[in-house]
Structure 1
Amino acid sequence: MLLLAPFIVCTLAVLLDRLLGEPSRLHPVVGFGRLVSALEKKCNTSPARPQRGVLAGLAALLLITLPILAVTLWLSSVLDGLWLIVAQAATAWLAMSLRGLAEHGQAVAEPLHNGDLVSAQEQVSRIVSRQASALDEQGVAAAATESMLENGADAVFATLFWLLVAGMPGVVLHRMVNTLDAMWGYRNPQFLYFGRAAARLDDILGWLPARLTALTYALLGNTKLAVECWRNQAPQWDSPNAGPVMAAGAGALNVRLGGPSPYPSGIKQRPLLGGTDKANAASIEAAIRLVRHGVVLWLAVIFVLSVLAAIIGV
């Protein structure tokens, strides 16, 4: 039973996400985000000074993460057996967003299917930072497809990875740092230095999960094209983790992603990713299926490894 605990915990987390989705009230990640915003206002007082900005960002990161991490470590040490399994599964459920990811993606795909570009633009503006009103149908579909692939790594597979590697503390640390990067990791005058520590730590914690996600996408789609895109296109992307994930995912789906995109600050020229098919509503849904099938694959692999460990007595 205990040797199957990793499989049981991961399966319970996925089932809780499937059945309950994200809590509509008192979501810990939302509460954490509010604390992050308040702390940034207090600490980010010298955004134009490189050394002071970096040190302030590092201090803020440690100040907000270490107490929460300490409590999580303590809980992991005092809980055991069934209570530990339940606590780990609940923590992973709160950090995971497989159902939410699919719902956000489907909310964009449905109006695109119906030819309602305005509604699709409104929905995609909730999940990407691009200037949605300037996107055409293909641009909306590409933005949503990219979001499904990238957030599949950050909000789904990275959670499962850190749950297996480091239990509750690993899940909590990754979710906190990933949230900090999402809020502070902008390359603009306000966060260029202050958010650097959070961005670098997020790159480190996400490095291996991102590549396992890219491998998952490649195995479940057009493997040859996915590997080629991963090898040739990912190094051109400015993010060391998003590049492999989106390049492999775009190749697996044979869909064209990347390219110039409108932001409030202007047009950002991004490398092209993937194959030749234009993004559309179907590519969003295909990306959702790719993430879902990837979770099934991960659970199957975890089960097999758990059984093998039980057989050989590890």
Structure 2
Amino acid sequence: MWLIIVGSLIVDQIRGEPRRFHPLIGLGWWIATVEKRIYPLRQQTTRTLLAGLAGWLMVVVPIMLPVIWVDRFVEGFWHNLLAILTLYLAIGHKSLIEHALRVYLPLSKGDMTAARQQVAMLVSRDTHQLDASGISRATCESVLENGSDALFAALFWFAVAGIPGVVLYRIVNTLDAMWGYRSERYLYFGRVAARVDDVMNWIPARLTALSYALAGWHWQTSKSTFNAALACWWKQGRSWKSPNAGPVMAAGAGALGIQLGGGGIYHGRHIESPVLGIGRPATTVDIQRACTLIRHALLIWLAVLLIITWVLS
């Protein structure tokens, strides 16, 4: 298991995210097709909930049945190669860092227009009026949250359930990204997608929060940093709108000694969110520090997975 994980991370570091023919593009098309076919003409609560459940099953089952079959009957070298390729396509470590640096580089040079354009590709809030601190805050939030979604949760489900586990997680996460909104259209239709994603991310998110706290302790060589990260996770994480993003971002902000959260403009409306973390507001350099925190957390995960693999072998 450990060698497969390392192999997938090496491939990701060399190749990065595929520019074309990424399976997630096809998955997105399939999800949109199912939604178009099954979304109810009348938005009645029960009917819309059942349509969302049926749509979720129509997306998941046709993909998972052949994946489980292949995982069961393909063995040896070819199974290991398939596992490396599957996990490589499911994680987004290099692309996450690259997206963050695309914001950091123009921001560090004072090019606010380019920085706002780049951060708009990471977050859903209105970025046109963001200053340097606001851009840094939004980028750090995205990096820390997506470190859990795009990297650590995928590693967790591969370690727990192999190829079927990581494929199911990526499908569930994509369904949530497309249907899991609290808008008028998706409030009921996307409820199943949102709840299943919450369940599958519950343990990985908290392991990620713990690894951020440990990574900050190691980096800062200060026990107080570790304690601050845990305190932010416990006291602030539960107040966030997402039950999994809150602990992750709060622990990461506490480990970095910065403040995240607060107000933002979303679809023309000012929405006030709880403050996460402790210390000073985020600055440009904190984008790099957030990326470094994820790298250190990844080393912790690899060390723990190596021990687990050794014990189980």
In the superposition, the TM-score normalised over structure 1's length comes to 0.95
Aligned pair count?
Answer: 305
Which SS does the other structure have where 2:142 is aligned? helix
> Which residue of 61, 67, 73 corresponds with 2:68?
73
Alignment partner of 1:235 is 2:238: yes
Residue 290 of structure 1 is matched in structure 2 by: 293
SS at match of 2:270: strand
Residue 151 of structure 2 is matched in structure 1 by 156
Say yes or no: does 1:215 pair with 2:218: no
Percent identical pairs in the alignment equals 45
C-alpha contact 2:40 2:47 (8 A) present in aligned 1: no
- Indicate which of 226, 250, 272 corresponds to 2:229: 226
Q: What CA deviation, in whole Å up to 9, does each residue of 1:5-56 have, x standing for no partner?
A: x111110111111111111110001111112122212222347321111111
Q: Secondary structure at the match of 1:189?
A: coil
Could you tell me which runs of 5 or more consecutive residues in structure 2 were left unpaired when the two chains were aligned. 217-224
Q: Secondary structure at the match of 1:178?
A: helix
| Distance apart, 1:296 and its partner CA | 1.5
Letter in structure 2 aligned against 1:217: Y
Alignment partner of 1:175 out of 155, 170, 174? 170
- Taking a change above 3 Å as real, the CA distance of residues 138 and 108 of structure 1, as seen in their structure-2 partners, is same
- Per-residue displacement from partner, 1:100-121 (whole Å, max 9, x unpaired)? 0000000001111001111110
Match of 1:201 in 2: 196
Pick from 91, 99, 103: which aligns with 1:96?
91
1:28 and 2:23 are equivalent in the alignment: yes
- The match for 1:245 among 233, 245, 248 is 248
SS in 2 for 1:260: strand
**SS of alignment partner, residue 105 of structure 1:** helix
Query: What corresponds to 1:276 in structure 2?
Result: 279
Q: Distance in 2 between matches of 1:83 and 1:62?
A: 29
Mapped partners of 1:274, 1:217: distance in 2: 12
What SS is found at the alignment partner of 1:119? helix
Q: SS at the partner of 1:201? A: helix
Larger RCO, structure (CA 8 Å, separation 6 or more) = 1
User: Which letter maps to 1:255?
Assistant: I
Report how far residue 279 of structure 1 moved. Answer: 1.1
1:305 Cα deviation after fit:
2.3
Listed as ranges, the gaps of 5+ residues in structure 1 are 1-5
Do the aligned residues in 1 keep the contact of 2:172 with 2:197 (CA within 8 Å)? Answer: yes
Shift of 1:281: 1.8
- CA deviations over 1:170-214 (Å, ceiling 9, x no partner): 101110010110111111111111100000000000000000000
Query: Residue 275 of structure 1: CA displacement?
Result: 1.1
How far apart are the structure 1 equivalents of 2:142 and 2:133? 14
Partner of 2:303: 300
- Return the letter of the residue paired with 2:288: E
What is the rounded CA distance, in whole Å, between the counterparts of 2:266 and 2:293 in structure 1? 27
Contact 1:135 1:262 in 2 (8 A): no
TM alignment of 1:46-125, pairs within 5 A: 46=41, 48-125=43-120
CA distance in 1, matches of 2:111, 2:95: 22
Who is 2:135 aligned against?
A: 140
* Of 261, 265, 272, the match for 2:264: 261
Q: Which residue of structure 2 aligns with residue 3 of structure 1?
A: none
Counterpart of 2:220?
A: none
- Give the Cα–Cα distance (whole angstroms) in 1 for the partners of residues 67 and 32 of structure 2: 22
CA contact (8 A) 2:263 2:273 kept: yes
Contact 2:126 2:268 in 1 (8 A): no
